[in-house]
Amino acid sequence: MELPRHGRSRLSDVAKLAGVSLGSASRALNNPSSVRPPTLEAVRKAAEQLSYVPDGNARSLVLRRSNTIGAVMPTLNNPVYADFLHFLQQGLSEAGYSLICSAHEYDQSVETLLVERLLQRGVDGLVLVGTDHDEALLSRLGLAGIPHLFTWSTDERSRGACVGFSNRRAMQKLTRHLIELGHREIAVLSGAQTHNERARARLAGIVDVMALHGLDLPPENVITCRFDIEAGRKGLREALALPRAPTAIMCTTDMLAAGALSEAIHLGLTVPADISITGFDDIAYAQMLSPPLTTIHVSAREMGLRSSEAIIRAIHGDPHEGAELGAELVVRGSTGPVRGKQQS
């Protein structure tokens, strides 16, 4: 038989080369157990010879599924989210799903637009970060009736399944650690709190513990900045210029902490003898900084795999409430007692 001269082989070409009907060829490729072994073998050989690739769009129309999941992240410029996506993709791939990922860079209007585009592409489910989202986006998800999952946070949760942790309780652990080391003058490097319940919850956790010890956190000691290394450098300089010089800098991400630590060393400060610095996330290189970073460990691996399980279950009609994961304090060399004080 002469091979087809058009660009892409069709199922009809496979059926003709195999000497079977179009229906038999389709069943052999989509439901092998439904055809006789000789038919299956003939169709497989023909498909291989023709380099036949099934039409995913046509298959999606028949099954009413695209076997794709959309994930909209706050940013891709943070290793902890890259790790999360790696394990999310791993879990989805094992179940036969592909992942489409985009980032809104902390802009809710962009997030809503990206979600609409994913819905237009026919994704089977959506994974979003955080619990604070534009009401228009939430309404759109409700109208679309598409399974969706909130991740990385259980703070301020009002609806929908979540796979995340309490940012507030996690930051309380870190603040207690500093208070026990004798720190009373604390500055915070934080991202913008608008449309970001994670930033709000982390700051609230700091305030909670300081208040229990009769301490206040002046508004000027909360320095709002981007979530990147350069912002951490700049934030450290701003903190050192405060009227009440801080003995500890709490950074709400490890990226900010890496920048603050680098700038402190550049300015000739010794960490932690002159100033203690903390992070949040425990990204891979946190323990490789000099000194290694005290931080909050969040398991991106568990978050990603548990999220893949949850969204797949939701797609198959078995939604559940998600899961609350742990977030643990990891004490390393970037924190120590205030100069002249012993740890209580």
Distance in angstroms (rounded) separating the CA atoms of residues 310 and 105? 25
Does a structural domain hold residue 271? Answer: yes
Q: Which domain holds residue 240?
A: 167-299
Q: What is the pLDDT of residue 7?
A: 55
Find tokens 């980032």 and name the residue.
103
Task: HSE, CB side, 13 Å, CA atoms: give it for residue 173.
Answer: 16
Same domain, 268 and 182: yes
SS3 of 132, please?
Answer: coil
Residue 163: alpha-carbon gap to chain centroid: 11
Task: Kindly report the backbone phi and psi dihedral angles of residue 298, in degrees, each rounded to the nearest multiple of 5, phi listed first.
Answer: -120, 130
Torsion (CA) 37, 40, 41, 43 in degrees, nearest 10: 160
Q: What is the pLDDT of residue 91?
A: 94
* Structural domains in the chain (count): 3
Does a structural domain hold residue 1? Answer: no
Same domain, 27 and 16: yes
Does a structural domain hold residue 279? Answer: yes
Same domain, 103 and 93: yes
Same domain, 122 and 177: no
Same domain, 135 and 216: no
Distance in angstroms (rounded) separating the CA atoms of residues 18 and 205? 67
Residue 219: CATH number of its domain = 3.40.50.2300
Same domain, 294 and 174: yes
Does a structural domain hold residue 313? Answer: yes
Distance in angstroms (rounded) separating the CA atoms of residues 195 and 129? 12
Distance in angstroms (rounded) separating the CA atoms of residues 61 and 63? 6
- What 114-118 contacts at long range (C-beta under 8 Å, 24+ apart), as own/partner pairs, is 114/72, 115/70, 115/72, 115/140, 115/141, 116/140, 118/70, 118/72
Distance in angstroms (rounded) separating the CA atoms of residues 106 and 191? 10
Does a structural domain hold residue 337? Answer: no
Q: Quick one: 1 exposed, middle or buried, by C-beta within 10 A (0-12, 13-18, 19+)?
A: exposed
Same domain, 224 and 147: no
Q: What is the pLDDT of residue 219?
A: 95
Same domain, 204 and 249: yes
Does a structural domain hold residue 36? Answer: yes
Same domain, 103 and 178: no
Tell me whether strands 295-298 and 327-330 are parallel, antiparallel or unpaired: antiparallel
Same domain, 304 and 161: yes
pLDDT (tens place) for every residue of the chain, 344 residues total: 444 445 567 888 888 899 988 778 878 877 777 788 889 899 889 888 887 766 554 554 444 567 899 999 999 989 999 999 999 999 999 989 999 999 999 999 999 999 999 998 999 999 999 999 999 899 888 888 899 999 999 988 877 789 999 999 999 999 999 999 999 999 999 998 888 999 999 999 999 999 999 999 999 999 999 989 999 999 999 999 999 999 999 999 999 999 999 999 999 999 999 999 999 999 999 999 999 999 999 999 999 999 999 999 999 887 777 789 999 999 999 999 998 665 44
State the distance between the two ends of the chain, measured CA to CA, in whole angstroms.
Answer: 86
Predicted TM-score (pTM) of this structure: 0.79
Angle between helices 197-212 and 167-180 (to 10 degrees): 40
Same domain, 239 and 189: yes
Does a structural domain hold residue 203? Answer: yes
Q: What is the pLDDT of residue 343?
A: 46
Q: What is the pLDDT of residue 64?
A: 55
Residue 253 to residues 24, 108, 295, 326, Cα–Cα distance (Å): 57, 20, 9, 17
- Six-digit token string for 118: 């994913």
Does a structural domain hold residue 60? Answer: no
Same domain, 127 and 179: no
